[in-house]
């Protein structure tokens, strides 16, 4: 059954940030969760190095999970070696042997010395469950948001220690799960192309165990933001139609 506390926190988070996409729950497990349907899609023929999966990359599940909850196995993510690395499905040595990683290095998008620094999920989980936070049947590891610049600003005001990250976009998931950090990613070209995520959006990963804290800090910061917004709007009236021109 969905946790009413998580439902309430998700509703508060949505209202405080005026989110246009629902907060998602992401949960790592060592076995397929009972009572949760598995994600079904035909896998294409594997590439020469053996890569295939049910979607082009694990980040695509963020888009698929807006409307329903489903579980995924490690192999469902396997078309993207970078995502398989960050989510703990492949070791660095395994990922480095695949042609997609070689293509990224050849393009100069990443360098080999960057890979050991990329955060990864520990414990070699076998499954990840995705879905709207409001209906999650289990305690999640990460609460995932799609945000715009203003919403990222509000999160930064409320959580000054928030970490801003770049490529690869998916590494904010282990940052939240393993390091207990709230992290925002500006995205990466690999993920934006594969997910079709709008150019105006960023992503945010919140450790689920810190969700109540983050919501309260957003609530506390909202009053100051409201006061400043009212001051700026009132002060701008002195310029009349100047700003409109």
Q: Tens digits of per-residue pLDDT, 101-160?
A: 999 999 999 999 999 999 999 999 999 999 999 999 999 999 999 999 999 999 999 999
- Distances in Å between the Cα of 164 and the Cα atoms of 3, 114, 146, 159 are 30, 17, 14, 12
pTM given for the model:
0.94
Q: What is the pLDDT of residues 159-193, one digit of tens each?
A: 999 999 999 999 999 999 999 999 999 999 999 99
Instruction: Check whether 244 has a pLDDT greater than 70.
Output: no
> Token digits for 228?
């400043």
Which residues, at least 6 apart from 238, have a Cβ–Cβ distance to it below 8 Å?
none
Asked if omega into 168 is within 30° of 0 (cis), the reply is yes
pLDDT of residue 3: 83
- Say which residues have a Cβ less than 8 Å from residue 103's Cβ, sequence separation at least 6: none
Q: Report CA 127 to chain centroid distance, whole Å.
A: 17
Residue-wise pLDDT for 66-86, tens only, equals 999 999 999 999 999 999 999
Of the candidate ranges 17-26, 106-115, 208-217, the one whose mean pLDDT is the lowest: 106-115
Do residues 143 and 85 lie in contact, with contact meaning Cβ atoms separated by under 8 Å? no
d(CA 38, CA 83): 19
pLDDT in the model for residue 241: 66
Residues sharing a CB contact under 8 Å with residue 20, sequence separation 6 or more, in sequence order: 146, 148
DSSP 140: -
| In the chain, where the domains are located | 4-216
For residue 243, pLDDT over 60 is answered with no
- The residue-averaged pLDDT of 33-48 equals 96
Cβ atoms within 10 A of the Cβ of 169, count?
Answer: 28
Three-state DSSP state, 131: strand
């Amino acid at each position: 059954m969905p946790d009413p506390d998580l439902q309430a926190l998700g509703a508060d988070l949505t209202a405080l940030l005026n989110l246009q996409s629902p907060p998602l729950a992401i949960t790592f497990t060592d076995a397929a969760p009972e009572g949760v349907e598995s994600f079904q899609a035909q896998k294409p023929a594997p590439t020469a190095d053996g890569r295939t999966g049910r979607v082009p990359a694990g980040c695509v599940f963020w888009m698929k999970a807006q409307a329903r909850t489903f579980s995924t196995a490690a192999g469902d993510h396997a078309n993207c070696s970078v995502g398989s690395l960050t989510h703990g499905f492949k070791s660095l040595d395994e990922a480095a042997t695949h042609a997609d990683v070689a293509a990224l290095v050849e393009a100069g998008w990443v360098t080999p010395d960057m890979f050991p620094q990329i955060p990864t999920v520990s414990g070699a989980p076998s499954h990840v469950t995705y879905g709207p936070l409001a209906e999650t049947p289990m305690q999640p590891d990460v609460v995932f948001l799609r945000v715009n610049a203003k919403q990222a600003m509000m999160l930064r005001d409320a959580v000054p220690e928030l970490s801003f990250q770049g490529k690869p976009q998916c590494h904010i998931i282990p940052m939240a799960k393993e390091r207990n950090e709230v992290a925002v990613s500006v995205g990466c070209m690999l993920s934006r192309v594969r997910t079709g995520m709008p150019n105006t959006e960023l992503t945010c990963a919140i450790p689920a165990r810190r969700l109540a804290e983050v919501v309260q800090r957003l609530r506390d910061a909202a009053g100051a933001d409201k006061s400043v917004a009212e001051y700026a709007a009132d002060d701008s009236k002195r310029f009349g139609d100047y700003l409109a021109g």
